[in-house]
Amino acid sequence: MATVATPGLGGKTEAHDPHESYLAEKGLKSWLFTLDHKRIGIMYLIGVLAAFLLGGILALLVRLELFTAGRTIMTAEQYNKVFSMHGIVMVFLFIIPAVPGALGNIFLPIQLGTKDVAFPRLNLTSFYVWVLGAVFGLYTMIHGGVDTGWTFYTPYSSKFTNTSVIPMLTAAFILGFSSILTGVNFIATVHTMRAPGMSWKRLPLFIWALYATSIIQVLATPVLAITLFLLIFERAFGLGIFDPSMGGDPVLFQHFFWFYSHPAVYIMIVPGMGVISEIICTFSRRAPFGYFFIAMSSLGLALLGFLVWGHHMFVAGMSEYSTMVFSALTFLVGIPSGVKVFNWVTTLYKGSISLKSPMLYALGFIFLFTIGGLTGLFLAMLAVDVHLHDTYFVVAHFHYVMVGGTVIAFVGGLHYWWPKFTGKMYNEGMARAAFALVFIGFNVTFLSQFVLGSRGMPRRYYDYLPEFQSLHQVSTIGSWILGLGFLVMLVMFIQSLQQGKDAPRNPWGSAALEWQTPTPIPFHNFVDQPVITRGPYDYHLATEAELDEGYAPGERPADADD
């Protein structure tokens, strides 16, 4: 019937049937050379999930080694490399591209009501740049890896370690460019590709979050690039600018590094917050409380993110006055973060809440991110930071924000949009079981680390005093529960692909635009160019047909879904 609807297409051999799924074309080539943002997003998804698996295995190894004091399964040198590689893989290969590269790529154009991102070729380029960076990273790992931690602090990284620092810096440098290109692409797309009627005030909150993230990517990542570039030359040719024995300054490296890496934390968390905003609205069936404030708090975080990098160096020898300023500015970050949390919670109030698995992740996110955010305030306080700096408290805080925040949001978004981009439903019972395991396992792993840290267990240490052993063991057991949770999730998703029921157009009854297009998504995202007449959360303006959870008539040929 699709062809009946478009008689004008006669004679155009290149034309796509407007109803045809973007997954219809088969063959490896149709994927590797695709310019379709959805397919590029899927390739990103596969890539970042592979990185997550690798980083996760490394994490389990770190925890296993710490099960007993002294040697458990590896030497101290191996341990230094394993935790460094865990950090590098998770930060540069997984968490930075995870939400924007995978979910953002698939859904940004659809949520804007357009056919593609502004620069499809650049989009594919940025994916292959990511692949190139990943290849460099893996090459380095095979050749012994690095033991500098993911922060590459000088002068250890530039003068003392004999591990493969230069190839690893090159990998991070390349990965940075992938991130920049995605940011440039998204900024141009949001500015110029919105569908007719998609005003800035109607922009989905996920788009606002991606837009804020893109700004950070464009403004912060080049600073990392130049920093790594300088460090490569410092190590290769002894430039001396980070070397105190030659008149240079190692703290300068820390300033440069954190000028990127603090904003980078927002590159990691802000898109996750966007995902959570979408999920909360859909599963509360109402518009967000304070749309404008949630949107602007993303931009607020992006801005503040550039002003607080010094809080990583309170004990590195900065002047008292600058530590005071950085501490005060860091407290300000609590404002946009708090705005988001309070608005999400208020959105739930009197909402028609459905506790499907994506919503469980969203609620879990609010809980875990709140702990992660509030413990950040401990570290922002100068006197307290002297005690907690470089302890497991920092590790736990960081993981509460990055895993409890971003990973939970990423996984929640995966559950939320999975039916739309794969066209398959998944086993809800298994999804909930996986959530329970992940949630419990995560808290067991990292709550214990708050206690460890506050009692003085330094981070990155291979060995520890006997009194820390029981808490380390609790944490390691937690990591197994967490790993099991992800394993169940993996089985659940694979099962869904193989034998899942065909997904309806709008399984969650959402008013948002991406749920109004057929499932699986048509090649050009929509059958016809959409014209936006209401906001994505205007449940009071949405028609019954739009919110219908079942199959739209005629959408699935012959209704052969079971």
Instruction: Compute the least distance from the CB of residue 114 to another protein, in Å.
Output: 7
Report the residue from 111, 114, 427, 496 that binds another protein according to the rule CB under 8 A.
Answer: 114
Q: Residue 188, interface with another protein (CB under 8 A)?
A: yes
Q: Which stretch binds another protein (CB under 8 A): 159-167, 320-328, 447-455, 551-559?
A: 551-559
CA 59 vs CA 3, 56, 264, 528: distances in Å? 52, 5, 21, 47
- Closer residue to Cu ion in complex, CB, 157/254: 254
| 451, burial (CB in 10 Å: exposed 0-12, middle 13-18, buried 19+) | middle
Q: Which stretch binds another protein (CB under 8 A): 71-79, 94-102, 217-225, 475-483?
A: 217-225
Q: Which stretch binds another protein (CB under 8 A): 45-53, 128-136, 139-147, 187-195?
A: 187-195
- Closer residue to another protein in complex, CB, 120/149: 120
Backbone angles phi, psi at 21, to 5 degrees: -70, 150
**How many CA atoms lie less than 13 Å away from 73 in the CB half-sphere?**
10
d(CA 185, CA 335) in angstroms, rounded, equals 29
Report the residue from 39, 235, 262, 472 that binds Cu ion according to the rule CB under 5 A.
Answer: 262
- In sequence order, the 6+-apart residues with CB closer than 8 A to the CB of 11 are none
- Closer residue to Cu ion in complex, CB, 273/414: 273
Measured at the CA of 116, the angle between CA 112 and CA 121, to 5 degrees, comes to: 145
Q: Which stretch binds another protein (CB under 8 A): 229-237, 269-277, 289-297, 453-461?
A: 229-237
Instruction: Compute the least distance from the CB of residue 520 to another protein, in Å.
Output: 14
Q: Residue 220, interface with another protein (CB under 8 A)?
A: yes
- Closer residue to another protein in complex, CB, 12/201: 12
Instruction: Compute the least distance from the CB of residue 251 to another protein, in Å.
Output: 10
- Closer residue to another protein in complex, CB, 41/113: 113
CA-wise closest residue to 41 among 205, 186, 220, 169: 186
Q: Residue 24, interface with another protein (CB under 8 A)?
A: no
- Closer residue to another protein in complex, CB, 36/385: 36
Residue 262, binding choice from Cu ion, another protein, none, Cβ under 5 to 8 Å by partner class: Cu ion
Q: Is the dihedral of CA 420, 39, 494, 364 positive or negative?
A: negative
Q: Residue 4, interface with another protein (CB under 8 A)?
A: yes
* 52 alpha-carbon distance from chain centroid: 11
CA 201 vs CA 208, 379, 533, 537: distances in Å? 10, 36, 12, 11
Tokens for 305, please give them.
């993110």
- Closer residue to another protein in complex, CB, 144/317: 317
Of 243-262, binders to another protein (CB under 8 A) are 246-249, 252, 256
| 286, burial (CB in 10 Å: exposed 0-12, middle 13-18, buried 19+) | buried
Q: Residue 191, interface with another protein (CB under 8 A)?
A: yes
> 320-332 and 334-348 are packed helices; what angle lies between their axes, rounded to 10 degrees?
20
Residue 149 backbone class (left: φ over 0; alpha: ψ -120 to 50; beta: rest): left
| Mask for 39-68, x = binds another protein (CB under 8 A) | ------------------------------
Looking at residue 354, the DSSP 8-state letter turns out to be -
CA 519 vs CA 111, 150, 199: distances in Å? 15, 41, 25
Q: Is the peptide bond before 557 cis (omega within 30 degrees of 0)?
A: no
| Mask for 205-244, x = binds Cu ion (CB under 5 A) | ----------------------------------------
Q: Residue 189, interface with another protein (CB under 8 A)?
A: yes
Looking at residue 309, the DSSP 8-state letter turns out to be G
Report the residue from 70, 466, 553, 557 that binds another protein according to the rule CB under 8 A.
Answer: 553
Q: Residue 132, interface with another protein (CB under 8 A)?
A: no
Task: Say how many C-beta atoms besides its own lie within 10 A of residue 251's C-beta.
Answer: 16
Q: Residue 192, interface with another protein (CB under 8 A)?
A: yes
**CB contact burial 208-227 (16+ within 10 A = b; e otherwise):** bbbbbbbbbbbbbbebbbeb
| 403, burial (CB in 10 Å: exposed 0-12, middle 13-18, buried 19+) | buried
Q: Residue 222, interface with another protein (CB under 8 A)?
A: yes
Tokens for 231, please give them.
């460090």
Report the residue from 233, 342, 378, 480 that binds another protein according to the rule CB under 8 A.
Answer: 233
Q: How many residues of this chain bind another protein (CB under 8 A)?
A: 77
Q: Which stretch binds Cu ion (CB under 5 A): 74-82, 210-218, 244-252, 261-269?
A: 261-269
| Mask for 494-533, x = binds another protein (CB under 8 A) | -----------x-------x--xxx-----x-xxxxxxxx
- Closer residue to another protein in complex, CB, 406/517: 517
Instruction: Compute the least distance from the CB of residue 86 to another protein, in Å.
Output: 27
Residue 9, binding choice from another protein, Cu ion, none, Cβ under 5 to 8 Å by partner class: another protein
DSSP string covering 78-100:
HHHHHHHHHHHIIIIIIIHHIII
Q: Residue 184, interface with another protein (CB under 8 A)?
A: yes
Contact residues: Cu ion, CB under 5 A: 262
